[in-house]
Chains A and B, each alone.
Chain A
Amino acid sequence: MAHEHKLEIFRGLLKFKSNTQKIWGVLAFLTLVTAIEVGLGIAKPELFTKNYFLGMKLLNWIFIILTLVKAYYIAWDFMHLRDEKSALRRAIVWTPIFLVSYLIFILLFEADYIYNVFKDGFLSWNF
């Protein structure tokens, strides 16, 4: 049960003195990210809602990226993946990422096709 904790986050930019301190630091960071998300969700700046990237609003991209950032810190510091061997970490992280990326690609592509059928396919559904 040897447990050494790696106490650095942000690629070594921030180093904590103890594991407890690191936990509080990560909480502060996660709270900040959530606050930014909610703030953006309420303010909805036009810069992010009017511009699109790959067919999705910039605002939604920001939300998704911030979510992945939060997920990273929950998994790495709360579930202490940071302290696990890299083989275990990779097995846990890359398996779902690979499978889910495939699922997202195939289902959203199909959904977009159905959307176009509803729209242009001589089919009335809004009556």
Chain B
Amino acid sequence: MEFRYLPMTENDKQEMLQTIGIKSTDELFADIPNSVRFQGELHLKKPVSEYELKKELTQMANKNANLSEYSSFLGAGVYDHFIPSVVDHVISRSEFYTAYTPYQPEISQGELQAIFEFQTMISELTGMPVANSSMYDGGTSLAEAVNLSAAQTKRKKVLVSQAVHPESRAVIETYARGQNVEIVEIGLKDGLTDLNQLEQELDETIAGVVIQYPNFFGQIEPLQKVEELIKQQKKTMFIVSSNPLALGYLTPPGEFGADIVVGDTQVFGIPAQFGGPHCGYFATTEKLMRKVPGRLVGQTKDEEGVRGFVLTLQAREQHIRRDKATSNICSNQALNALASSVAMSSIGKHGLKKMATVNMHKARYTKASLKEANVEVIFESPFFNEFVVKLSDSVTKVNEKLFEKGIIGGYDLGRDYPEFEGHMLIAVTEIRTKEEIDSFVKELGDING
């Protein structure tokens, strides 16, 4: 087998061995004790040529039902939005994607400036003055926010609404356990966070309160009322997880006194790709600027007064502070942050609201049509692009039938909420056509009987 990534020739090898003063490369490995030496050859599939491999992997890909072939009404944190062609053309520039973290600013101004622009866009969307360069995803970003609130307030209890994404809540649970932080869940009332329960649980022991806006059911939580409750406890932090596309229409959490706003920018230019990599964002106040996890890019000048950008406030980070760092995060999602920046630039200042409202109109049309088809819609609060229906059969069975009709149905809420057995969370984005929606409504209406 030829290995096209290995340029070593036999002549080069001999010359190099001679320089080192050895006869064979085995001598370079002689310090590995025999007792731990691996004998024989690893049992891996035989290597194949580029052509064969492409064919093999294309066949593997074809075994998956993809969102271009099926019309999808599945969201629950990952959404099927249009990705402008410019996005992939930009992130395919290998000066970006084959670079490391920009530790040498003189030859990394491109990446550094792109991140600085990303930070600015996130700051604009969330209404927060500071945003970092990215986190792994919305879920881990939220978990870091929870731990930050505990560290900052020196308290060990955080309230999390059950209307927060169930997988994010599970991630919070694991991260909080690492820091011995207790999580208390706040229940639901009509698909919104139960504010009475929140008020009862809030006291001077609470480090933070976590609300999702719009929440997991698509409904828009009344952040103003939540803010009023939290304000009564001086130090308690207000943590909001937000779909950034919704913030094109909704008042940003920064205007309701949020201390930390997190979420995922997958909605901007990042394909679903089976759940990752997506791109977490983390935005906060100036007060917490020096406690932010992850990398921050700052503007400065070079010796000749030319504007430039550098990684900054690094004293927070693991490579400097080691066990005293504010987080252990090192690699982040820089390339996906770039993809989202390009998508946000493409959508633009006025386009964002338009895109958000098209999502809202289509979701409302779908909801109204389903009602007409006698599908029961529960919850009547204002919503963004997702809503909940109650079915007469199990969601799994209904989805299997929809799949036969070329439709990927919504999310089975019974997986996470026993009280919502037989309930489906339906997402409708700007790319679902009226035809697709009408067909979905008809099929779901028929199946539901």
Partners in one complex: no
Residues of B within 8 A of A (CB): none
User: Which A residues lie at the B interface, using CB under 8 A?
Assistant: none
